[in-house]
Structure 1
Amino acid sequence: MRGTALAAALGVVATLCLPGVAVAAGPGPDRAGSSASGASAGTGGPVEGTVRRLALEPKGTTEATVSAHGTERFGLMGVSWKDAAAEVQGKIEARSRNAVTGAWTQWVTLEPLKAGLDGNRPGARGATEPVWVGAADGAEVRVSGGTAALPAGLELDLVDPGTAGRDGAAKSKPGQGAAASGARAAAAAVAPGPESTAPRPDVVSRAQWGADESLNNEGPIYLAGGKIKALFVHHTAATAPYECTDSAAIVRGLHVYHVKTNGWRDLGYNFLVDKCGTLFEGRQGGVDQPVMGAHTYGFNSESTSVAVLGDYTNAGASPEALEGISRMAAYKLGQYDVDMNGTTTLTAGATQKNYAGTSFTAGQPYQFRTVSGHRDGFNTECPGHQLYPQLDTIRKSGPAAQLKIVSVNEKPVAPGGTAKSPGQLVVGFSTSTAAQLLSSFELLVDGAPAATVAGDATSAATMLSLGSHRIQIRATAKNGKVSTSLPVTVDADVSDVKYVPVQPKRLMDTREGLGVPQAKVGPGGVVALKVAGVQGVPAYGVTSVVLNVTATNPTEAGHVSVYPNGTVRTSASNLNFTPGQTVPNLVVVPVQDGIVQFYNSAGSVDLIADITGYFLASGEGGTHMNVGPKRVLDTRDGTGGVPTAPVGQGGVLDLDLSAVDGLPAPDGLTAVVLNVTATNPTQPSFVSVYPTGTTRT
């Protein structure tokens, strides 16, 4: 046990493409008989698998054979021998007979596995990689040692992955239940793993694919540093076509072979995925945990793994399988702030060479891609000549990586940290993913979207109500994938906001150069007006200002939007104009950095702004919360849940504000400030806006 733990700590538990399980080539069974167990992706309970061992008959000292016809059905087979350190210098070949068609497959070569792949374990046997054969009832093996003597105790191991009963479960053997139960309890006692920026994918659990936990009485080993820095991709379990309904049985077969034949503590891979994209939990210990696997010899102590069921030497993996790898890589690496399209440094746990001939020395650091192939760390073709080039596509297929909030109101904050705000909130964020790959960011307040900005933005803003709030940034990539930053807590103290009315004072006039340059605002133009610390307005503590904004001398129809500095302008307008008009409107706008912005959509126009009052974060009065321009009703397109039609004479519309993002709950809302626009009228009229349940005046 001590030797096993030491080997695991050094990261030298692994496999040669963890038993690169191959399906013997040849005629495959039809769909009705495609699975040795008839299992689907989930069984609903433990399924007990069995291993039947047949001794090979020596033909002198350098050859041995075995021929088994008419056996009980099995799904996977391999060859093993007594001494794990002994080697077969020649060739090991096998073939199987299909239980449905009676046809024999062609002979396939079985590759011996390196000794000590799961540590130096007492009773471990030498073995080949296993071969998945589906539903078979016959097998033949021939072994040639060349000029060297064969190892003692050669056996053919036939694995039946078991069949789920009516209740989806099979009973454990006497005396095994307590040990298995203790191992499961130890794994369950581990604290939840770290939160990830990427969603946790759906995974078929060990219980669902029918793992016989009575085989695993040692419990898992977790990474000594508690951090996953890379994910290695493998292939395993098929050269012939398989049905996805066989996948659970294939995984069970691997589990039984690794434990009962190889003598390992558990199935070697952390996760497996089939050609339909279904993910399976591999080695026990928790999907959310940094579990030590046995998958990439020399580099297990800082990594995790996904193995694709199938042989990808001559053909690439399916889009569904690649997507499965991508989702798992994004989730596991996102738990540890690792970019799946980045690089990392891993310390070698063994002296060896990889497939490309790169030499590693135990104890020395080496650079790897954070999503690497088995061949990058070990001398193997795995994950196959056609899957390996597809890894670059996987690396670029994830959501925004290393997404995190870096500041609140321009003050640095760490994920999980706490900040304070008087109600104004400007959140700065960062991601290692290039802006051209991103569609948008959302600012989440207590899980609900409060503001949306473009994919090249680095900040977003809103106003908070009184209390403590969970703040996150959610990024949507152009491929549709979503990631969400770890939260920060912002305590908003806005309980004593006070409105201060003032004698109207002119702050801006583009005709005279008051407050801004003397020039009309052109199409798409923006002017910034300082409102705090001028004309008697306090320099600090101002949360919002009330402005009477006037557009005059417009050259064509357009609109003006007034919005807080440092935020991304929305599509909402504050006033609309046509040529020859002078149009005023009242605007209440949040103040960021003491500045507000004015945007003109089309043509050229002069803008005037008079202040009539402001809100302070001090004194007595009701709390005022400004969410900036946000369209909540439009009869032209049905925004707000109203009919898409003009309002007729004497007509009344009910607008439900309870569903508007960013507004407090209805029981905490006493009034709203709305900019109401009437357009396309058929005759002179007026609009009245009044509280529901009251009589209109």
Structure 2
Amino acid sequence: MNRRLAIGVGAAAAVLAAGGGVAVLAWPDSGDAGASVVAEQVTVLPPDPSAAPPKIKTAFNTVEIAASSGGGDVDLPERKTKRFSMVGVSWSDPAAVPQGEIQVKTRSAASGRWSVWKTLQREADGPDGLEAGNPGLRGGTVPLWAGLSDGVAARVVGGGSGLPAGLRLDLTDPGEESGGRGGGAAVTESPSAEPSDTPTVDPTTTAPGAEPTTGATTTTPAAVPATTTAPVATTTPAPAATTATTAPAATSAKPSSAGVTANAVPTSTTPVKAQFPSYVNRAGWQADESIVKSIEVAKEVRVLWVHHTATGNDYNCADSWKIVKSIQSNDVNGKGFSDIGYNYLVDKCGKLFEGRKGGVENPVVGAQTKGFNTNYAGIAVIGDFEGDVKTGKVPLQSNAAIEKTLAQVAAARLGKYNYSPTSTAKVQAGATNGKFAEGAWVTLNRIAGHMDGDATACPGKNLYPRLPAIRALASEQITGLALSRITGATKQGSVYYTKKTATVSWAVTTPTAKIARFEIYVDNKKVASPAGSARSATVTLAAGRHSVIVRGVHATGGTAQFGVTVIGDPTAPAWTAGMAVNLRPGTYNATSVPVTLTLSAKDNAAFAGFTVTKPRAATLGASAKGWNVNVKPGTTTYAVTARDVAGNTRTAQIGRKLAIVPETSAKKTGTWTTVKNKAHLSGKALSASSKGRKLTWSFTGRTAALTFMKTPKSGKVAIYVDGKKVSTLDLKSAKNAYRQAVWTRNLTSGKHKIMIEVLGTKGRPTVISDGLVVGN
């Protein structure tokens, strides 16, 4: 890209010093050389000031290399060092290139034996844009994965007169788990971890068909034991395309500004909306977030660069996380990059790793193809596909597992921005590198090899010719796979509940003829493999929480999946305290008494609520503690069903009697006057105005309500229950109100006495009692 800084270096530094900001860059909006230039924005994300160090810490040590008096053929004799697993060589000036071959040999910490001399490749990866101005940026070699070592020697053959300043060995020890077993917790994001055929997904983490969200993880991803050796894929790679050109060797040719077409132009421009594949996130490979510097985020991903790390092939896939961790340390501590240079990495078993921070979903600017970093992404296969005839280094062979991952990453990242993986892009170099001058136009395949953008042999003679086949594979993906519905289960929040069986139905946009099969997993165990024409499957679930995953498998091997959490719940809710009928305040009459039916039930999984069928129909939610209803005096039957979300039910029924006890049945103390009015209960009431007048009712029951007539001149009354004063009521109201239950009480079932006493309130001493209502 032809990126021009629209703010000066000083201004950019001021933005970063202020804690972040936006650096405005510009590039042509179309592929035509004469197109107008429009401004685009690249956001600069500052370092996290409170980033926690990883649980498994990385040790980074350096050893200075001084040229010997013998012409520099041997610069550093064999010597003991602190333990390390990756070794690289770096120097102060990133523009300097040491003469001769830089070679190292290492001593195994396990056997004590020294390796043969190994030549380190010159690093062709590098930052541009704002990152190219990082203080402390250094030149360096591709680091070598040596395995656990405790000794090193180095030499520069034929370079004694041209050694750059600050030449040193960079030694990285990725660390071990407690107990020395090695292997960090391989935390994976949804979908499942690869290369196993068994998904290990928490299906609540990612919407079907969507790319996982990076940043703060809010889920509990499944772990893949890193101490278990991941098998090397044995499937036969697809035939190599005959149109691919041989990977050129690294060259020191002068940069060219002429337009270049890197590969033949493919025909399809239809984007492929593929699902981003499973990956080990940064927490999984124990990234050190505390060393990450400012990160730039661009507008889109226009091209995906394919690299190889050239760090060597002698590794076990169970140790891949250590290599990724070591590359981050070497890139940042050794070369001064802002973070690991690659956006993604994949090991020889096809396992994918999140690379530069924030780059799974966002167009994060990497440091992997100088001049072509902004609006590009880079994925590196861990290993060396080039080899070395002189040293006998055997190049890595590509395989189906690697190519499937490369293809799906490419389809997902390019498809997000509506680019086809088999199309081309006409772009400009944003900086001068070993192959192109800044501003040079080049037509690139959307899936391009590193050598297409710089003077390098990367991604090697055994991988570069496979890119046409990978492009074709990227165009053949499972797309649009998503949940349609689940029958036999009820959804609450993001979780489904079923008694025992549920039928999962889905939709997919990939033509049926191109779908090999679907796979149904329950708790990471495959339970069914319906045909590619299937659009539903029924699962039987035991009690408890389960992950149910539907995975679509393309005829070419690519996959997409979605997952849901389903809880099997065959157990009906339990009544915890039964039901009770309590009188409540309100207006009473001979045919309608307000009561509250109290309810209490719980469920072992998820409670849904209550369904009332008697005395009338009502539906209550899960939080309901009671139900207010008016019933006739006499005996009433209450029937209620407690239900859970899965559909289990338990019904309970009680009968309760309500009786209106007239005031005439009370024992009187002092003079009370009978007041007749059809508005009173039973057409009459008792009135008293003198202090100390009392009415006492004796009854058997469990709930009671005192009713009064309230007037503007009504006074106060004291309430006693079983000989103890419990309340004082003021019966004054703005207007006359008959049959008012202003006091209710729930009691233990049995015999009780309730007494009222007139308090003779000054100026309004009258109390009018309308009787007592009792429930058994």
So what's the TM-score if we normalise by structure 2?
0.43
**Greater C-alpha Rg:** 2
TM-score by length of 1: 0.48
